[in-house]
Structure 1
Amino acid sequence: MKNDDKNKSKLRSAQWFGTADKNGFMYRSWMKNQGIPDHHFQNKPVIGICNTWSELTPCNAHFREIADRVKNGIREAGGIPVEFPVFSNGESNLRPTAMLTRNLASMDTEEAIRGNPIDGVVLLVGCDKTTPALLMGAASCDLPTLVVSGGPMLNGKHHGKDVGSGTMVWKMHEEYKAGNITLQEFMDAEASMSRSAGTCNTMGTASTMACMAESLGVSLPGNAAIPAVDSRRYVFAHMSGMRIVDMVHEELNLSKVLTRNAFLNAIKTNAAIGGSTNAVIHLKAIAGRIGVNLELDDWLVGKEVPTIVNLQPSGQYLMEEFYYSGGLPVVLRRLGEQGLLDKDALTVNGKPIWDNVADATCHNDDVIRTFDNPLLAHGGICVLRGNLAPRGAVLKPSAASPHLMQHRGRAVVFENFDDYKARIADPELDVDENSVMVLKNCGPKGYPGMAEVGNMGLPPKVLKKGVKDMVRISDARMSGTAFGTVVLHVAPEAMELGPLAAVEEGDYIQLDADAGVLQLEVSDDVLEARLNKLKATQVIAKSGGYMEIYRERVLQADEGCDFDFLVGCRGADVPPHSH
């Protein structure tokens, strides 16, 4: 058998295109209606380009051109590109939250990869949930897989200053509620924030997940920070297209890259960049699909890692400066120099991660700080436990106020988000800066999809005193662009009758972030009695459709909010279709 025949027998796509029979005839014939010549079905890897382009997902609106550049690279390397769409769950427009459809998009991705004649796949990702969704779906199939992110938008510009997408909205809206700016001044800033295609230019969830992909090793070096409209983003896409063809020949499947040590590298990277709390949920879900055991307590490996990336919302700069300063390779190098990186973790270019970053050069030590001059000495995600969160909760120290990291205060309770909206601006609301704002029923099932409402805006009566932050606790998530001393992902959630459901107005709550404690100052007996009373009266309305599936099968935050029936790697084998 010739070498070409050996390669052909290895290719998964040969099960469709490589047989001299009726089925092979029909598969090839149908594909030829697109003008594909006969020799393209002989010994050439078929590479799927999984595209989340959509005009309703502004972050990914430039992905048609990105896909074309990937195709050029695939063709140059001797592969056959086939582009296919999957559900594009953009955070900016999709209601009630894109997190509701993350699992749906992952199912779309998984079945599209498994059911089609694909030897390897390039995932085009950008807006927040598209990165974890596509990685989850691909992980369940375990083919050679490579991530290409769309990149961040250009810096926002407002009144001569750089402003960050998302973060600008939260800050200016608080200024408006405090009476410091007019409604017109707030609205005038609208056109200043988003000046180009691309994802949020802060270290929000999109940028965080692009960094997670690079630190996991599932993208080529430099993926995370190249601006969306920079010509180097298109060069990167081309080179990624070339590389995926080699990955197929090398049989470099996703499971060889997504190892437990790769996930631990990503956790430490998240601490160093001041990354989004959403990464906690997404990394758990991806790990669950590929078969890696990753628990909430594994985030403790990042607890002592300093935050060295000086980006909004934790710091000063934006993603453009991060790229110009050297990007994520510099961060990874500095982690490695401190013994905080598994240097042998394999990446998609076939090299250990340290080989990719050992020579990375920093061009601005104020944007990417050194370890002896960090933005925050201990930047890792805080994992909190106690009788209020027996299965855990999280807090992002780099976005919090140091003086509130140890705090005891009286609970001001909102039963759901509608209750919060109805009462927060009431001048008679019994709240002050020492209170603890508690929001219930906004977890995975309570507000299906676990919306980003955990960073509750402060009451106007408090803002007018000049107060900028208060302790807030919920079973919700918050945007990676947001800030504040916000406790999130309380598990079990209130809808599941976790202890959060039993918090009452006037209860005292103790937060000790350093010690990892979140405690409701109510006895076990009282807590149990309250929960029993709630259980006896709880009514959960049926919604029908996808939302009902979601509520019935979604796991809790500490488990990654995946569907219980999707956890695990099912592989790429598929029964043959006999025509």
Structure 2
Amino acid sequence: MTTKPPHGLGRDVANYGDREFSHYLRRSFASSMGYSRAMLEKPIIGIADTASDYNNCHRGVPELKEAVKRGVLAAGALPFAFPTVSLCEPSLTPTSMHYRNLMALDTEAMLSAQPMDAAVLIGGCDKTVPAQLMAAASADVPSALLVTGPMLAQRFEGERLAACTDCRRYWARYRAGDVSAERIGEIEGKLATTSGTCGVMGTASTMACLAAALGFMPLMAASAPAVHADRLRFAEEAGTLAVQLIRHPIRPSQLITPKSVENALRVLLSLGGSTNALIHLTAIAGRAGVTIDLRRLDALSEETPVLVDLKPTGEGYMEDFHAAGGMVALLRELRDLLHLDTIDVYGRTLAEQIDAGPAFVDRTYIRARETPVSPVGGLVALFGSLAPDGAILKRSAATPALFETEARCLVFDGLEDLASRIDDDALEVTPQDILILKNAGPLTPAGMPEAGYLPIPRKLARAGVKDMVRMSDCRMSGTAFGTIVLHIAPEAAAGGPLALVETGDRVRLSVRERRLDLLVEEAELGRRRAAWRPPARPKRGWDRLVHDQVLQAPDGVDLGFLRPEGH
């Protein structure tokens, strides 16, 4: 006689040496919450609740959670919501990236330790979706993803505004003296006026699209605005889907495959998407034992056009992308470049998902292959003596005239140095110089912040300079723009060549050759290397663990001990 595997409250009980007592104790305490015995015998769907008073992007999570519960109950299971770490970029110091792996660790532990047959993960703000997918990959619990959705753009005095590309655009004008303090204060209240994530193709929106490409949610669920009724319907559907995953389990390990990851890279390139998404996708894939090679990314970038005309690369907003046909329309346009046999959480192939989607497309925002925003992908990888392990440039948001640059560099030795000198009128800088920020990578107390978008020195901004070549070992917001080299690896704090750069050195950037080189004699570099000392090791806590375990950008900035054995 075979016995059914345990489900619901019968799963993964604590062991006191008497398993029946463990079940008895769990049911007894669960009963104190007012559930009937019949309800407690149902399968359980865990719902990761990331609502937080600190997280404006997740303001709609309580309403989404109730819609998920509705779907779970209607499908015959019992929903149990549980809190996890919640990350919001503007609310955290030193940066939300510093805590992405902590959220992933927390979520993985709760998925693995609590009794649930499947899960719904509710996330949205930049680092939450990557953290949840990293956790799902490691726990391998059948999971559906529900994103909070993007905010709507605000109509204001003849233009539309939404965080955060317009935020950066206006702030650059303020620094240049084109916008008054009174005006910038007025704009501040118009940039984010609804719930939801940034309304442009920043990191949050890019990650939602990549998660859909990996198969963790319906394609159109990636872009439905946070305040639309469709968002609540997708929430209800996520609850129903999670119950289906009990009966017909499809695990994250079946979704995150070399083919699906390559599909996601194609989507990233065609979106003109966030540079941060490459780090996050690398970390997610790495949890499943799939490696992303920057040289392969570069090869894909030469074959994959940018088709989506949204800020910061273009002009539209996420609501326009959704109304234009969203991910269905985009993937239909990319169809011959994709692995169409990958599956989603429903068990449908990508080909089936595309065929079942709406046929409409608005070419204003999702271009045809014959008339792309750019004939090549939004990102390129760079290698050379300054970046032996690679660096990234978002060419779709950069100035082509600066793609081939050899110039003197001006070096800032960390964030404090940058803040104290960038606006000094005595700063010796010209528009032709290359600005370099070092000691801001994942090993540093700065936590790899979105500081790669170095401001144009105030005296140059006032003179009308809009862009300069800027380089760093940190990141920039997915909503940012400019000719900016990011994720230089190894970082300065790891003793990479970036640690040796000094003001006055010459650096060469060649997008055509995919090169990034420090033009200093080896003998001089050897002298500097001998004098270099690593930064102090943090004394305790999370900072110490990160310092001891964090990987470099080409490996997704994950913690080494959280990767699968052998990876």
Q: TM-score range by the shorter chain?
A: over 0.9
Match of 2:175 in 1: 177
Match of 1:349 in 2: 346
C-alpha distance in structure 1 between counterparts of 2:27 and 2:301, whole Å: 54
**1:149 Cα deviation from its structure 2 partner:** 0.3
- Structure 2 length as normaliser, TM-score? 0.96
The code of the aligned residue for 1:344 comes to D
Q: Is contact 1:17–1:41 with CA below 8 Å preserved after alignment?
A: no
Deviations 1:168-217 (A, max 9, x none): 12111111111111111111101111111100001011101111100111
Q: Is contact 1:152–1:207 with CA below 8 Å preserved after alignment?
A: yes
Match of 2:239 in 1: 241
Which stretch shifts more, 384-393 or 509-518?
509-518
**1:20 Cα deviation from its structure 2 partner:** 8.6
The code of the aligned residue for 1:198 comes to G
Match of 2:30 in 1: 31
**1:157 Cα deviation from its structure 2 partner:** 2.8
Deviations 1:409-458 (A, max 9, x none): 11011111111111111122111111100001000012442000001010
Secondary structure class of the residue paired with 2:219: coil
Q: Is contact 1:218–1:258 with CA below 8 Å preserved after alignment?
A: no
Relative to structure 1, is the Cα distance of residues 240 and 386 closer, same or farther in structure 2, using a 3 angstrom cutoff?
A: same
C-alpha distance in structure 2 between counterparts of 1:295 and 1:543, whole Å: 34
C-alpha distance in structure 1 between counterparts of 2:182 and 2:252, whole Å: 50
- Structure 1 length as normaliser, TM-score? 0.94
C-alpha distance in structure 2 between counterparts of 1:57 and 1:543, whole Å: 29
Deviations 1:239-291 (A, max 9, x none): 11111111121121111111111110000000111110001111111111122
Match of 1:555 in 2: 551
Q: Is contact 1:280–1:296 with CA below 8 Å preserved after alignment?
A: no
Secondary structure class of the residue paired with 2:86: coil
Relative to structure 1, is the Cα distance of residues 301 and 262 closer, same or farther in structure 2, using a 3 angstrom cutoff?
A: farther
Q: CA RMSD in A?
A: 1.8
Match of 2:315 in 1: 316
Q: Identity across aligned pairs (percent)?
A: 38
**1:221 Cα deviation from its structure 2 partner:** 2.3
Relative to structure 1, is the Cα distance of residues 40 and 466 closer, same or farther in structure 2, using a 3 angstrom cutoff?
A: same
**1:544 Cα deviation from its structure 2 partner:** 2.6
- Structure 2 unaligned blocks of 5 or more: none
**1:16 Cα deviation from its structure 2 partner:** 5.0
C-alpha distance in structure 2 between counterparts of 1:204 and 1:453, whole Å: 15
C-alpha distance in structure 1 between counterparts of 2:419 and 2:281, whole Å: 31
Match of 2:415 in 1: 417
C-alpha distance in structure 1 between counterparts of 2:80 and 2:349, whole Å: 29
The code of the aligned residue for 1:325 comes to A
Deviations 1:448-498 (A, max 9, x none): 420000010101221122221110000010000110010000001011111
Secondary structure class of the residue paired with 1:140: helix
Which stretch shifts more, 476-485 or 520-529?
520-529
Q: How does 1:88-107 map to 2 (within 5 A)?
A: 88-107=86-105
Is 2:564 aligned against 1:568?
yes
Match of 2:293 in 1: 295
Q: Is contact 1:384–1:518 with CA below 8 Å preserved after alignment?
A: yes
Match of 1:67 in 2: 65
Among candidates 397, 400, 411, match of residue 398 of structure 2: 400
C-alpha distance in structure 2 between counterparts of 1:216 and 1:120, whole Å: 18
C-alpha distance in structure 2 between counterparts of 1:276 and 1:45, whole Å: 38
Which stretch shifts more, 290-299 or 426-435?
290-299
Which stretch shifts more, 546-555 or 432-441?
546-555
Q: Is contact 1:97–1:450 with CA below 8 Å preserved after alignment?
A: yes
Q: How does 1:247-326 map to 2 (within 5 A)?
A: 247-304=245-302, 305-326=304-325
Q: Is contact 1:437–1:471 with CA below 8 Å preserved after alignment?
A: yes
Q: Is contact 2:9–2:26 with CA below 8 Å preserved after alignment?
A: no
Which stretch shifts more, 192-201 or 512-521?
512-521
Q: Is contact 2:266–2:300 with CA below 8 Å preserved after alignment?
A: yes
- Structure 1 unaligned blocks of 5 or more: 571-579
The code of the aligned residue for 1:363 comes to V
Match of 1:52 in 2: 50
C-alpha distance in structure 2 between counterparts of 1:276 and 1:360, whole Å: 26
Q: Is contact 1:267–1:301 with CA below 8 Å preserved after alignment?
A: no
C-alpha distance in structure 2 between counterparts of 1:541 and 1:265, whole Å: 39
The code of the aligned residue for 2:553 comes to A
The code of the aligned residue for 1:14 comes to G
Among candidates 359, 364, 367, match of residue 365 of structure 2: 367
Is 2:552 aligned against 1:544?
no
Match of 2:437 in 1: 439
Secondary structure class of the residue paired with 1:123: strand
**1:83 Cα deviation from its structure 2 partner:** 0.3
Secondary structure class of the residue paired with 2:91: coil
Secondary structure class of the residue paired with 1:412: strand
Match of 1:577 in 2: none
Match of 1:463 in 2: 461
The code of the aligned residue for 1:374 comes to P
C-alpha distance in structure 2 between counterparts of 1:74 and 1:166, whole Å: 35
Match of 1:495 in 2: 493
**1:12 Cα deviation from its structure 2 partner:** 6.8
Secondary structure class of the residue paired with 2:337: coil
Match of 1:217 in 2: 215
C-alpha distance in structure 2 between counterparts of 1:126 and 1:179, whole Å: 35
Q: Is contact 2:537–2:547 with CA below 8 Å preserved after alignment?
A: no
Relative to structure 1, is the Cα distance of residues 334 and 201 closer, same or farther in structure 2, using a 3 angstrom cutoff?
A: same
Tell me the matched-pair count. 561
**1:28 Cα deviation from its structure 2 partner:** 1.3
Q: Is contact 2:206–2:277 with CA below 8 Å preserved after alignment?
A: yes
Deviations 1:515-574 (A, max 9, x none): 210011112332232122113xx451534321122112111111111111111289xxxx
**1:376 Cα deviation from its structure 2 partner:** 1.3
Match of 1:451 in 2: 449
